[in-house]
Structure 1
Amino acid sequence: MTIIEKYISNTPEDRHAKLQQLYTIIKQLIPEATEKMSYGMPTFYLNGNLVHFANAKNHIGFYPAPSAIEAFKLELAEFKTSKGAIQFPLDQELPVDLIKKIVLFRLEENAKK
């Protein structure tokens, strides 16, 4: 069991499916990334932190850095966002295609470092 899988297993059971889905999407897109915990959150790292995600009280948090929030602000309009965070509501499906685009954006961004 990876450190991220352990994190997911310690969240409320009704969150497991969404957190596992998010984890799988990211892992499949960037299998070469290191998985770790950073700021208490599951983190994918390659040439720096790529993305974090976390279980929150009322949503699933996705943290792709402020640059990604800005780059995808139109597509993120239906979600609550802040400088570096996106909130995915628990009662909606994850926006898989958007998540993939954001992860690949961050991968490209970190590759330029």
Structure 2
Amino acid sequence: MATAFATVDEYIASFSGEIGERLRRIRQITREVVPQSGERISYAMPTVTLGGQDLLFYSGWKRHVGLYPVPSGDEALARDLGSYRSGKGTLQFRLDQPFPDDLVRRVVAALASERTGSI
């Protein structure tokens, strides 16, 4: 049975090493790109909210961190995300590869733009 976390802090603190670092990095990037965002636990994982609605989810796994959903409508971004796609709405950032900070920034900005019409 999966552990139930009350806060994003608890969730991230449950991971050590590279996984914890990458989760903290995703959190930091979302706060920088969308400073008005909130956060909560939903579906047992950290969830970034915007205007009271879920914007994106992220999670830690044994060999990667995941980010969901994948933004649509930007062909250049879609091409750049190609090797990170795992399923229709999932991005996986493997631990044996460098973490793509700039790409994650673009994903967060694109999702926020889809939601609000601008960022």
Does the alignment reach a TM-score above 0.5?
A: yes
Q: Give TM-score scaled by structure 1 length.
A: 0.84
Candidates 2, 17, 24, aligned match of 2:28: 24
Determine the structure 1 residue equivalent to 2:65.
60
Candidates 91, 106, 111, aligned match of 2:111: 106
Determine the structure 1 residue equivalent to 2:93.
88
Aligned length, in residue pairs = 109
The CA deviation at 1:69 is 5.6
Identity of aligned residues (%): 28
Q: Gapped runs of 5+ residues in structure 2?
A: 1-5
Which ranges of 4 or more aligned residues in structure 1 deviate by more than 4 Å? none
Candidates 45, 48, 58, aligned match of 1:44: 48
Over aligned residues, Cα RMSD in angstroms? Answer: 1.9
Q: Gapped runs of 5+ residues in structure 1?
A: none
C-alpha contact 1:52 1:62 (8 A) present in aligned 2: yes
